[in-house]
A and B are shown apart, each in its own frame.
Chain A
């Protein structure tokens, strides 16, 4: 034990420090993007293209929009916030924590809600009828209080007059990506998830989806703000402009988001 501790002090600790310390010193820190979980399958190639064109490295954190809002309110070092709705970035603007003169966040895309199930499911092919199927034991949704897709899911179920009967069978995921994971892992029978998740190669291979009719839920308008405490305003603005540019908007359309332009 003693010898072990001595070895730890003499060899391991310096090695650990050598590993840890240079990291913050080297290179320029990445542009930090707080991104709604539905962007997880969409954003990485876009950020790679952005880096190729501008030499600005951007790193994204994916979470439910409300969670990112709490983090930014409490000083998380993000430069750009890409929400899955307008209300959470609006909240930051109202609190004076957004770097904008506009009264509202900048819309960059619209989200689409789909009903997804695995191909090997014993239940019928996804459709609105599946939602009232008595054999549907567990339906995964995202948390309606903090994930805009969860809010849309509850709105759609309420409009279909199914919410009360389905309520005991709903499992609530942290964010929309986890809702998809609950279904893909076989733990839930079906899920109301984002089209962006359903269109990923993995979920395309393992399941089928049904697009929930748009008149059943208020549009999932996704908005962005630049965070007030950013030290890289110009770079953040550049990324936002890039996201709104015609080629990138066209790319969003292919990955399950509806372009705003």
Chain B
């Protein structure tokens, strides 16, 4: 078992989840509370990675944000190195790739909070950030958990982006799904089986955790009721 890759994968998924929640909570609140027409375009963009082939994303990050473009050089200056072949690059790729898995449950959860409550809070003088902090987030707690777990698992299971962008560097970009791929390609089916079992076990446990939590609350599975 490649424990270095295991730790790296958990670190990548944790950091990605934290960054994603920081982006997705305000974004989902904006999508639910906002009334502007262009928000539909924003929601479409935020959902795009769900249907986008990971190879498209890998290509964008590798070439369009590579060291040969102005945008790429700006990013390289910001991070101190190009995105490709680095842990930071994988975080950027994973945040984009898992964005819909964080935004979608939150939009559903926030939208299920009765509009009358939001209006009442506003009438009492609460600004948008206070509405989100004291009303939407506590009431949509389960959606927040769902968003976090799905983002985490989706990042653990990410493969195509890492394969195109990673360069398979132990301790930096060699994640568990890459290890599994290497083991299969090197004909080491026994080790591949063990790695696959860990990836599978992780996903099953987390999903059971989400759904059993739902049953405790009277079988509400929609993720919207708190």
Instruction: Please tell me which stretch of A19-27, A39-47, A158-166, A182-190 contacts chain B, meaning at least 4 of its Cβ atoms lie within 8 angstroms of it.
Output: A182-190
Is A145 a contact partner of B185 (Cβ separation < 8 A)? yes
Closest to A73 in B: B187
A-contacting 9-mer, from B34-42, B96-104, B163-171: B163-171
Interchain CB contact under 8 A, B168 and A187: no
Q: Is B66 positioned at the interface, with any CB of A under 8 Å from its CB?
A: yes
Interface string of B153-171 (1 = CB under 8 A from A): 0000000000100011100
B185 near A138 with CB under 8 A, answer: no
Report Cα–Cα, A109/B167, bound state, in Å: 28
Q: Write out, one digit per residue, whether chain B residues 79-103 have a CB within 8 A of any chain A CB (1) or not (0).
A: 0001011000000000000000000
Bound: A64/B181 CA distance, A: 13
CA distance A70 to B90 in the complex (A): 27
A171 touches B185 (CB 8 A): no
**Contact count A vs B, C-beta below 8 Å:** 50
In the complex, how many residues of chain A place their beta carbon closer than 8 angstroms to a beta carbon of chain B?
Answer: 20
CB distance from B192 to the nearest CB of A (A): 11
Q: How far is the CA of A66 from the CA of B188 in the complex (A)?
A: 12
Determine whether the beta carbon of B62 is less than 8 Å from that of A172.
no
CB pair B84–A187 under 8 Å, yes or no, is: yes
Task: Check A182–B167 contact: CB distance below 8 A.
Answer: yes
Cβ of A232 within 8 Å of any chain B Cβ, yes or no, is: no
CB of A70 within 8 A of CB of B85, answer no
The listed residue (A73, A143, A170, A186) touching B67 by CB distance below 8 A is A186
Q: Quick check: B168 and A67 within 8 Å, CB to CB?
A: no
Contact of A66 among B68, B163, B186 (CB under 8 A): B186
**Does any Cβ of B come within 8 Å of A174's Cβ?**
yes
Among candidates B62, B63, B82, B186, residue contacting A146 with C-beta atoms closer than 8 Å: B186
- When chains A and B are docked, how far (Å) is the Cα of A140 from the Cα of B85? 10
Checking A66, A73, A138 against B85 with a beta-carbon cut-off of 8 angstroms, the contacting residue is: A138
Write the nearest CB–CB distance from A37 to chain B, whole angstroms.
13
Q: Does A173 contact B (CB under 8 A)?
A: yes
Contact residues in B for A174 (Cβ distance below 8 Å): 163
A145 and B167 contact, Cβ closer than 8 Å, known pairs A186-B67, A187-B66 = no
Q: How many residues of B contact A (CB 8 A)?
A: 18
* A143–B187 touching, CB < 8 Å: no
Main secondary structure of the interface of B (DSSP, over half): loop
- B169 close to A145 (CB less than 8 A): no
From A73, A171, A185, residue with most partner B Cβ within 10 Å: A185
B163:A187 contact, CB within 8 angstroms: no
**A70 touching B169 by the CB < 8 A rule?**
no
Which residues does chain B contribute within 8 Å of A171, judged by CB atoms? 84-85, 167-169
Report chain A residues within 8 Å CB of B163.
174
Closest B residue, CB atoms, query A140: B167
The answer to whether B185 and A173 have CB atoms under 8 Å apart is no
Binary per-residue interface labels of chain A (133-166) against chain B in the complex, 1 for a CB within 8 Å, 0 otherwise: 0000010100101100000000000000000000
Known contacts A171-B167, A187-B67, A182 near B184 by CB under 8 Å: no
Q: Which residue of B lies closest to A74 (CB)?
A: B184
**A185-216 interface with B by 8 A CB criterion:** 185-188
A172: nearest residue on chain B (CB-CB)?
A: B168
B134 in contact (CB, < 8 A): no
Closest Cβ of chain A to B191, distance in Å, is 13
Q: B18-29 CB contact bits vs A (8 Å, 1 = yes)?
A: 000000000000
CB pair A145–B84 under 8 Å, yes or no, is no
In the assembled complex, the CB of B85 is this many whole angstroms from the nearest CB of chain A, namely 5
Residues of chain A with a CB closer than 8 A to B212's CB? none
9 pairs from A and B in contact (CB 8 Å cutoff): A70-B184, A73-B187, A145-B182, A145-B185, A174-B163, A185-B66, A186-B67, A186-B68, A188-B84
Which residues from chain A sit less than 8 Å from chain B, CB to CB? 64, 66-67, 70, 73, 138, 140, 143, 145-146, 170-174, 182, 185-188
Known: A73-B187, A186-B66, A186-B72. 12 other contacts (CB 8 A): A70-B184, A145-B182, A146-B186, A171-B84, A172-B167, A172-B169, A174-B163, A185-B84, A186-B82, A187-B66, A187-B82, A188-B85
Binding site for A on B (CB under 8 A): 62-63, 66-68, 72, 82, 84-85, 163, 167-169, 182, 184-187
